[in-house]
């Protein structure tokens, strides 16, 4: 099993080297989300293990999002071509900002929607997984009445 994880890390660019610049996974079927109206987002699901509550949220590509004490930044989000089986892959950087403590880098790498255990966040309180990569429709700016 460990050999499979090492092989996957080598093939998909997961690990310390990938923390600097996300290399795309070695899969010819993966491509960026096709252009369209709205923003590219990764749909994520977070689990707070203390309260046993899950939350689905969208993270715009390139912008940090908070989940509990975690700051999650999606650098890239890819999907399979229409002819291939559905898949979503996102490059995540996750940093823990516990109050009164220095920030702790927890994760930097590709997460796969179809196999979340292949490359997972290892944290005592939180779990984060990728559900999809989509285009989110922007909401209108609040009026200044």
Q: Is-contact 38 135, C-beta < 8 A?
A: yes
pTM of the entire predicted model: 0.75
Per-residue model confidence as pLDDT tens digits over 52-84: 999 999 999 999 999 999 999 999 999 988 888
Q: CB-based contacts of 98: which residues, under 8 Å, 6+ apart?
A: 69, 104
DSSP characters over 82-124: TTSPP-EEEEEEEEE--TTS--EEEEEEEEESS-TTTS----S
């Amino acid at each position: 099993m460990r050999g499979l994880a090492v092989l996957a890390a080598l093939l998909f660019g997961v690990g310390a080297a990938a923390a600097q610049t996300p290399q795309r996974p070695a899969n010819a079927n993966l491509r960026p989300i096709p252009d369209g109206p709205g923003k590219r987002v990764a749909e994520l699901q977070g689990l707070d293990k203390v309260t046993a509550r899950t939350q689905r949220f969208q993270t715009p590509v390139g912008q940090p999002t908070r989940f509990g004490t975690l700051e999650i930044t999606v650098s890239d989000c890819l999907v399979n071509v229409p002819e291939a089986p559905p898949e979503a892959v996102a490059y995540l950087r996750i940093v823990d900002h516990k109050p009164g403590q220095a920030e702790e880098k927890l994760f930097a790498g590709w997460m796969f929607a179809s196999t979340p255990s292949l490359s997972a966040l290892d944290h005592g309180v939180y779990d984060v997984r990728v559900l999809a990569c989509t285009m989110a429709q922007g909401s209108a700016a609040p009026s200044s009445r």
